[in-house]
């Protein structure tokens, strides 16, 4: 490429300037040629010192750029980052992660294989003391050599460390939007990201986010790889492992699941899903957070035309 930039690192953020600074510090410490990557900070309407942090790191990281876009929704930052990116590879990081020391060189090496369309690594809780045995028993799912805790957006390969050099094909379910890199051609082919994180008053506009991109890659049998060295730490705090927060996360996941159902199959399948929901309630003896989320979006979809139109938009650029 004429500008020399191969990798565009996109960081959507809002009102988490302290966490953002820690992430940018970990990028600055990467042993990588500054001419081949750029950092795009997409400010989704912050009112704290996010802009000041971005201005500081524009001076410290060679190709660091800042964009302000107050339209609500994580998809705004993700798709704006895609539009502004100059690299053929576009990586997405949550603003509350810390890169493993060789993250950038590992990602660049992984895409030397021209068949590779997606690369990711583990998303490891930064403070493992928060992950108690009881918490693991209730919320963790073991798949092969991986532990998944979807309620806190973490998964890791057992025995993961900063010296780990394991490489595998991507495990099913391990497309985590807070640490994923794609060929730009793939994101263009699937027409960008669906809605994801939304403010609480706009949750009826939530969609299935990066899960849709993962499904597109899987359905088209594209090559997706896991590199241990492309892992990150996730800076969760004690609030993220509370019962109330986890219930809220399951509620949001229920919205996303219903969005996928309605977008792909329409109202008939959405209504059919009610039977499964009632069965879930019978099994659980209560309405779970996920079930509440499914019913929440189904209600809005049935009674509000603007929600039906939103769910079926061609894309969300």
Q: Which of 163, 193, 22, 190 is nearest to 92 (CA)?
A: 193
Rounded to whole angstroms, the Cα distance separating 55 from 59 reads 7
Give the confidence band of 271 by pLDDT, cuts at 50, 70, 90: confident
Average pLDDT, the chain: 94
Query: What DSSP string runs through 276-307?
Result: HHHHHHHHHTS--HHHHHHHHHHHHHHH-HHH
Instruction: Say yes or no to pLDDT of 54 above 50.
Output: yes
Q: Supply the pLDDT for residue 68.
A: 98
Helix (H/G/I), strand (E/B), else coil: 70: coil
**For residue 232, what are the CA distances in angstroms to 32, 124, 139, 190, 247?**
17, 6, 20, 26, 25
Residue range 289-305: average pLDDT? 94
Q: Which of 240, 251, 22 is nearest to 130 (CA)?
A: 240
Instruction: Say yes or no to pLDDT of 90 above 80.
Output: yes
Rounded to whole angstroms, the Cα distance separating 229 from 121 reads 7
Question: What's the pLDDT tens digit per position in 135-168?
Answer: 999 999 999 899 999 999 999 999 999 999 999 9
Residue range 174-186: average pLDDT? 92
Rounded to whole angstroms, the Cα distance separating 282 from 285 reads 5
Q: If 0-12 CB within 10 Å is exposed, 13-18 middle and 19+ buried, where does residue 236 land?
A: buried
Query: Is the pTM above the cut of 0.85?
Result: yes
Give the confidence band of 2 by pLDDT, cuts at 50, 70, 90: very low
Output DSSP code: residue 66. Answer: E
Residue range 287-304: average pLDDT? 92
Q: Supply the pLDDT for residue 3.
A: 61
Helices then strands (H, E): number in the chain? Answer: 11, 14
**For residue 145, what are the CA distances in angstroms to 111, 170, 247?**
24, 12, 27
Rounded to whole angstroms, the Cα distance separating 226 from 142 reads 17
Question: What's the pLDDT tens digit per position in 145-154?
Answer: 999 999 999 9
Q: Supply the pLDDT for residue 285.
A: 75
Q: Supply the pLDDT for residue 284.
A: 73
Rounded to whole angstroms, the Cα distance separating 58 from 34 reads 12
Rounded to whole angstroms, the Cα distance separating 261 from 264 reads 5
Q: Supply the pLDDT for residue 1.
A: 39
Higher pLDDT, residue 268 or 15: 15
Is residue 168 within 8 Å of residue 231, measured between CB atoms?
A: no
Residue 70, CB half-sphere, CA atoms under 13 Å: how many?
4
Question: What's the pLDDT tens digit per position in 210-221?
Answer: 999 999 999 999
Percentage, residues of the chain above pLDDT 70: 99
* Cβ neighbours of residue 132 closer than 8 Å, sequence gap 6 or more: none
Show the tokens assigned to 184.
Answer: 């730009």
Q: Supply the pLDDT for residue 232.
A: 98
Higher pLDDT, residue 171 or 8: 8
Residue range 255-269: average pLDDT? 93
* Least confidently predicted of 3-7, 115-119, 238-242, 279-283: 279-283
Show the tokens assigned to 81.
Answer: 């980052």
């Amino acid at each position: 490429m004429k500008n020399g930039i191969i990798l565009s690192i996109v960081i959507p953020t809002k009102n988490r300037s302290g966490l953002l600074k820690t992430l940018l510090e970990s990028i600055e410490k990467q042993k990588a040629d500054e001419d081949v990557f750029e950092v795009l900070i997409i400010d989704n309407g912050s009112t704290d010192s996010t802009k000041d942090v971005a201005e500081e790191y524009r001076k410290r990281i060679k190709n660091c750029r800042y964009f302000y876009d107050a339209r609500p929704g994580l998809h705004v930052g993700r798709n704006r980052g895609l539009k502004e990116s100059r690299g053929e590879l576009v990586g997405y990081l949550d603003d509350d992660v810390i890169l493993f020391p060789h993250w950038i060189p590992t990602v660049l090496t992984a895409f030397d294989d021209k068949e590779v369309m997606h690369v990711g690594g583990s998303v490891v809780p930064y403070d493992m003391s928060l992950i108690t045995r009881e918490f693991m028993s209730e919320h963790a799912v073991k798949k092969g050599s991986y532990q998944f805790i979807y309620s806190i957006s973490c998964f890791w390969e057992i025995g993961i460390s900063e010296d780990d050099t394991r490489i595998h094909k991507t495990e099913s379910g391990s497309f985590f939007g807070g640490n994923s890199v794609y060929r730009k051609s793939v994101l263009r082919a699937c027409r960008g990201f669906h809605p994801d994180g939304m403010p609480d008053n706009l949750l009826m506009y939530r969609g299935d986010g990066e899960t849709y991109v993962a499904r597109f890659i899987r359905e088209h049998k594209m090559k997706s790889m896991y590199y241990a060295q492309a892992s990150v730490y996730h800076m969760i705090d004690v609030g993220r492992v509370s019962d109330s927060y986890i219930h809220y996360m399951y509620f949001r996941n229920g919205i996303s699941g219903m969005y996928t159902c309605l977008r792909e199959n329409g109202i008939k399948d959405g209504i059919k899903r009610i039977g499964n929901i009632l069965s879930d309630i019978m099994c659980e003896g209560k309405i779970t957070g996920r079930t509440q989320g499914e019913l929440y979006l189904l209600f809005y979809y049935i009674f509000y035309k603007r929600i039906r139109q939103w769910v079926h938009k061609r894309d969300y650029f």
